[in-house]
Structure 1
Amino acid sequence: MLRSRGLRLTAQRQLVLQAVLDLGHATPEQVHTAVREVAAGVNITTIYRTLELLERLGLVTHTHLSHGAPTYHAAGEHQHVHLVCRECGAIDEIDPELMRPLADRLATERGFRVDIGHVALFGVCGNCEDGEPK
């Protein structure tokens, strides 16, 4: 895809994309840590620029799962709703169809279309609720 748009496929771009794929859901800092295990000279600015490029190309997407940095994941994945545990930080996914009744109601009553791929529900996971944080 990069080459078809006249862009070079650099080792750094490959490493950043592979890190996102391997990590599943990752902040730029987590991607940076993973990339530095292979290429110690890659700086955080390069990670941010590469993630922005990969998102413009439709290879990754981001969502905000906390007050901090965005979390990136592969864009080719099925759309999903994120469940974020406020206690341990675990991220789980649910089928977006569970949100369909709410999304349909918002569309009908408010003319508002929900971007389900960017929905994050915050709460406490079952492990933490049972007193056993991960």
Structure 2
Amino acid sequence: MSNYAHTVTAPSLADKLRERGLRLTPQRQLILEAVYELGHATPEQVHHAVRERAAGVNITTVYRTLELLEELGLVSHTHLSHGSPTYHRAGEDQHVHLVCRRCGSIGEADPSVLLPVTRQLQAERGFRVDVGHVSLFGVCGDCKELS
């Protein structure tokens, strides 16, 4: 894990935990750092990254901690497939997830690409789209070139 992630997350994580009467544990810190470093990661991917530094952290701890970190507003999740949710840093600019069905890569697009659709849904149905949870599936440019 990078030192950058540690310096960015430690104070806010410690403060948010203290506000709830909880303490900062090494496991919580490592799990948050893994999410920040991996960008978009499933609990299983976070678990794998954390176990490289702390072999005793189990998958249940990862799941519980990810739920807590989301409640604290430090991470958010989206569903990019039928499997586990994918977590990423909260507070990032919202983005549309672009998921390649061939290679599994996850890209991001500015939410403005959906403005016509989101405006129409708002006008016609009063429905406000949570762009942070929008995922579009297709084939990325690299895989398309291989076809």
TM-score w.r.t. structure 2 length? 0.88
Aligned-partner Cα distance in 1 for 2:109–2:48: 27
1:64-103 matched pairs, under 5 angstroms: 64-103=79-118
Structure 1 gap ranges (5+): none
Please give the root-mean-square deviation of Cα atoms over the aligned residues, in Å. Answer: 0.9
TM-superposed CA distance for 1:110, in Å, is: 1.6
Aligned-partner Cα distance in 2 for 1:89–1:54: 25
Aligned-partner Cα distance in 2 for 1:80–1:127: 21
1:1-134 matched pairs, under 5 angstroms: 1-131=16-146
SS of residue matched to 2:47 = helix
Structure 2 gap ranges (5+): 1-15
Bigger helix fraction: 2
SS of residue matched to 2:108 = strand
Between the aligned residues of both structures, percent identity stands at 73
